[in-house]
């Protein structure tokens, strides 16, 4: 029992202190679909244009998510992965509907993983063509 507690605490500490470990199973493909069909679509239609993954480096994307400031601080990046947000658009957005049951943290990690891959210094620099 004591050992189990130690292991659980150890796991929590690992995930908290070393987010990379938590990201190990992130799904960049799910992140890609969400980024392109939710983030990009909204930015294209309402925010002056898409933001390609390759406009930032891997470190810049990491810093962006850590700062958690969307629209120059008007709201939080985190909000756009929330169930509340997805529920609000799922009637008109297939990706939001498809991933409506995905935990918020998982979806955020998926998008981060895609952006790491598609960053300008990533394995496959990606644009929003």
Which residues in this chain contact other proteins in the complex, by CB under 8 A? 29-30, 32-33, 36-37, 52-54, 94-95, 97-98, 118-129
Q: Smallest distance from the beta carbon of 94 to other proteins, in angstroms?
A: 4
Neighbours of 49 (CB within 10 A): 10
Closest listed residue to residue 62, CA positions, set 123, 119, 17: 119
Distance CA 41, CA 49 (A): 9
Q: Which is nearer to other proteins, 60 or 76 (CB)?
A: 60
Q: Smallest distance from the beta carbon of 74 to other proteins, in angstroms?
A: 26
Q: Smallest distance from the beta carbon of 97 to other proteins, in angstroms?
A: 7
Q: Which residue has the tokens 């918020």?
A: 104
């Amino acid at each position: 029992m004591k050992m189990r507690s130690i292991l659980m605490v150890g796991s929590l500490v690992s995930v908290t202190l070393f987010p990379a470990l938590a990201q190990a199973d992130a799904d960049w493909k799910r992140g890609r679909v969400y980024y392109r069909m939710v983030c990009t679509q909204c930015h294209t239609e309402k925010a002056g244009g898409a933001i390609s993954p390759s406009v930032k480096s891997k470190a810049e994307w990491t810093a962006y998510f850590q700062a958690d400031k969307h629209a120059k601080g008007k709201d939080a990046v985190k909000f756009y992965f929330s169930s509340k947000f997805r529920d609000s658009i799922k009637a008109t957005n297939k990706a939001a509907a498809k991933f409506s049951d995905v935990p918020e943290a998982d979806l955020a990690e998926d998008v981060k993983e895609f952006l790491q891959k598609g960053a300008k210094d990533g394995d496959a620099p990606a644009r929003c063509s």
